[in-house]
Structure 1
Amino acid sequence: MMSQEQNDLISRVGPATAAGKLMRMYWQPAALVDELDGPRPIMAVKLLGENLVLFKSEDGQYGLMDRDCPHRGADLAFGRLERGGLRCAFHGWLFDASGQCLETPAEPIGSSLCKNIKQRAYPVMKKGGILWAYLGEGEPPAFPDIDCFAAPEAYTFAFKGLMECNWLQALEIGIDPAHSSFLHRFFQDEDASTAYGKQFRGTSADSEIPITKIMRECDRPIINVELTEYGLRLIALREIDSERTHVRVTNQLFPQAFVIPMSTEMMITQWHVPIDDENCYWYGIFTSYTTPVNKEKMREQRLELYELPEYRSRKDKSNDYGFDPHEQATDTYTGMGADINVHDQWAVESMGAIQNRTREHLGQTDKAIIQYRKLLRQEIEKVASGGKPLMFLDDANARSIQGPASMDGIGPTKGWETYWMEVDVKRRRGAPWAAPVPSDIAQKISRLTAAE
């Protein structure tokens, strides 16, 4: 268990907090690119507890600035796109994407007032179908050369969803390999031919065994956690028999993302982004290693659950997440339908707006969560002392962060150590785009092969 002070340290991310200072040293997802492609490309954004306005100017530049007009505090999210910038609807003051005031039209002709006025603004970058913002000081870091950024646009799809809880408990469910045997348990297995775009509904690599069957019948995984240059690698082993073991490799990408296999052909890189201390969005980039993503189908599937414009789940605490006791008795472990996003949302929101970790009792299967919290505290302290945290990358280092390897397959009980790497490498080398083989994986395979 931890103290309340320790819990506050790792969960609260406002401007004056230690974890908030850490989080501001990274690019943060601010919106989906699609959200500003409509007829009015201006939207209010709350990010890390700060109220901002995001817009796309008439000449295609993205701007992000404080939401309150520096004149008299009116809401710039109701402004107008004019003359290449954002104009306040109150008195017509005009700002460009850098926050510089260009016009104060109600002032006397010849007034130089606007020259000395600059609204606080932040860099914006478009990448992987997401608009990223940097709220920190100084030059922003480089993006890592991970698969979801390396893949061509046709092979990726971005989406998001709202969670009404603290970002940390939402993240931690993604580095908990044990929960899927219970929370995502299905009592019947689905035809794998209908599994496109769905998680935990297909088959594992090198097998016709449904993943749902493995999770249901092998509920005591052995979990290995490795510290890496990007965060943590998790390897969950579920022994089927003396010859076969289910191997699932996932990753924690510091500070607030995880990378998990969705199917044999697709991977998910998912960030948990604080709106404030009690709400967050998950932003996911789905990356295909085989064929271009059917974006229309993926979007239609997700809009069955998520409602625009807030990307709020139609199943939430207001309707008990669609809970059906008959379904719980006969079809699913939770009784909350087949979409695992609903299961995850119930689990993390039921902990409260900010989980009270002073009352929890962690076990052996929580080793990745324990390791991540230790890493998070370490990096918070590093930044507080003026240092650069893990994954604050320059251009040279960014190119070295590749992958990371992620897979789900049925391999040999003796020899799983090389099996998962071989599956990952085979998928990369067979991809129609240049999916890089991470150097650490290439080196490990070389060493293990030489030792045999």
Structure 2
Amino acid sequence: MITQDRNDRMTRIGPGTPAGNWMRRYWQPVALSDELAGNRPLRAVRLLGQDFVLFRDEAGRLGFLDRDCPHRGADLAFGRLEDGGLRCVFHGWLFDTEGKCLQTPAEPPTSRICQHVRQPSYPVVERNGMIFAYIGGGDAPAFPAFDCFAAPDSHVFAFKGLIECNWLQALEVGIDPAHASFLHRFFEDEDPDSAYGKQFRAKSTDSDLTMTQVLRQFDCPELQVETTDYGMRLFALRKLDEAKMHVRVTNMIFPHGFVIPLSPEMTITQWHVPVDDVSCYWYAYFTSFTDAVDKEAMRAQRLELYELPDYRSRRNRSNDYGYDAAEQRDRTYTGMGEDINVHDQWAVESQGRIQDRTREHLGATDKGIVTYRRLLMKAIKDVEEARAPLLALGEEDAGTITGPATIDLVAPSAEWENAWRAGEQRKRAKCPWLEDANTAQFDRAS
């Protein structure tokens, strides 16, 4: 049973909260590179209940600063990008990407105030179309050698979407393999050859079965969970007949992400980044192990649902997620269209802005959620007791955390554990960008 105090301890992420202190120990995605395109590369960012401004200066350097000007608190998100930095339009104070005050033009020429003023700034890096910031203070951790970071930019597509509820319930839908047989059930199958970039529409590895068929026809998977050096690995096992098993391998990565298969050639690495206690963004990399990603096609698909500049879904709480009773009767299980992002958004937003876990009754299919909550509570306690939490890595360890492996395939029932590893190795052996040293460590567990 989850008490209200424990629910608050897990979900509240503002400054000074237990979960907030823990989550600040990691790099957080804060924007897509696309958001800094154009003539004014600047974005206001709200992250973990704090307000920042992200910008690129004239030399291409990234800056991530507190949003309120240290002079009298005016909003730097309306500032001018000029003269090597960001200038507040209230009194013209100018700050560089590291928060150094360069000019205070309205002050007397003899003023030395610039020497004593510094706007808080935070480390920021750009990786494969996504921008990450670290707001935890002290030394930032190293990035693990995950596939989405190891792949060249040509083989990775980045996107995001807004969810209007607490980050934890948004994450938990991704570590619940059983829900897909219901929430994402389609009564009609699509041609898998036209399924590029679409979740659950492709064929499983070593099979002519599409995931839509597997999910619809075999809706009671056996779930297994193992802890790893990055979080946990989940197995959803669906017995097709006496000889064959469908195996779907997914992963939870700390602090709030998961890695799942999109198709035999592509994986999704997705984080659920808190804006504040009652909203979050999902940030996702789509990583290809074969050909370069068709980024224009992937972006066009997603912009059918998501509106810029906030990446808000066109189907949302205000219009009942596009629910149609006739469609629910004849075509989809939810009656909310064919984009699974809409299904997931309805599921987690319908639980409330912050789910009341004192009222829930977990079952056997929730073992991934139970395991993650235990890991989460331990990580929060580790930070409180000045220990490094899981996956807050030093440079030496970062290169050893690879993968993580993810696949769905049909395998001999008696040999499924060996078969999924062999299938993953075959995928990696054919990958044009993977180094040999990266192919052997994907299946380590602790």
Q: TM-score per shorter chain, which class?
A: over 0.9
Residue in 2 that maps onto 1:441: 443
Contact 2:228/2:445 (CA < 8 Å) preserved in 1? no
Residue in 2 that maps onto 1:200: 200
Contact 1:403/1:438 (CA < 8 Å) preserved in 2? no
How many residue pairs were aligned?
444
Residue in 2 that maps onto 1:58: 58
- DSSP-derived class of the 2:370 partner: helix
Contact 1:404/1:438 (CA < 8 Å) preserved in 2? no
- DSSP-derived class of the 2:177 partner: coil
1:128-277 correspondence runs (5 A): 128-277=128-277
Query: 2:387 matched to 1:369?
Result: no
Contact 1:102/1:114 (CA < 8 Å) preserved in 2? yes
What per-residue deviation string (whole Å, max 9, x for no partner) do you get for residues 200-255 of structure 1?
11110011111111100101100000010110000110001011111000000011
Distance in 2 between residues matched to 1:437 and 1:359, nearest whole Å: 44
Structure 2: 5+ residue runs without aligned partners? none
1:348-367 correspondence runs (5 A): 348-367=348-367
**% identical aligned pairs:** 59
Contact 1:80/1:88 (CA < 8 Å) preserved in 2? yes
Q: 1:133 to 1:432 in 2, by over 3 A?
A: same
AA partner of residue 405 (structure 1):
A
Contact 2:404/2:442 (CA < 8 Å) preserved in 1? no
What per-residue deviation string (whole Å, max 9, x for no partner) do you get for residues 301-356 of structure 1?
00000000000000000000000000000000000000000000000000000000
1:299-314 correspondence runs (5 A): 299-314=299-314
Distance in 1 between residues matched to 2:201 and 2:284, nearest whole Å: 18
AA partner of residue 437 (structure 1):
T
Shift of 1:442: 7.7
Shift of 1:110: 2.2
- DSSP-derived class of the 1:203 partner: coil
Query: 2:119 matched to 1:119?
Result: yes
1:47-86 correspondence runs (5 A): 47-86=47-86
Contact 1:401/1:438 (CA < 8 Å) preserved in 2? no
- DSSP-derived class of the 1:7 partner: helix
Contact 1:86/1:95 (CA < 8 Å) preserved in 2? yes
* More deviation, 203-212/295-304: 203-212
AA partner of residue 200 (structure 1):
F
Residue in 1 that maps onto 2:101: 101
Structure 1: 5+ residue runs without aligned partners? 445-452
Shift of 1:27: 0.2
Shift of 1:111: 1.1
- DSSP-derived class of the 2:347 partner: helix
Residue in 2 that maps onto 1:413: 413
- DSSP-derived class of the 2:421 partner: helix
Shift of 1:438: 4.4
Shift of 1:432: 1.0
What per-residue deviation string (whole Å, max 9, x for no partner) do you get for residues 69-120 of structure 1?
1111110000001111000011000001111111100000121111100011
Contact 1:226/1:232 (CA < 8 Å) preserved in 2? yes
- DSSP-derived class of the 2:183 partner: coil
AA partner of residue 441 (structure 1):
D
Distance in 1 between residues matched to 2:369 and 2:216, nearest whole Å: 23
Distance in 1 between residues matched to 2:279 and 2:429, nearest whole Å: 40
Shift of 1:128: 2.4
Aligned-residue RMSD, C-alpha? 1.1
Contact 2:402/2:442 (CA < 8 Å) preserved in 1? no
Shift of 1:414: 1.1
Contact 1:402/1:438 (CA < 8 Å) preserved in 2? no
Distance in 2 between residues matched to 1:342 and 1:261, nearest whole Å: 19
Residue in 1 that maps onto 2:391: 391
- DSSP-derived class of the 2:173 partner: helix
What per-residue deviation string (whole Å, max 9, x for no partner) do you get for residues 372-392 of structure 1?
000000010010011111101
- DSSP-derived class of the 2:293 partner: coil
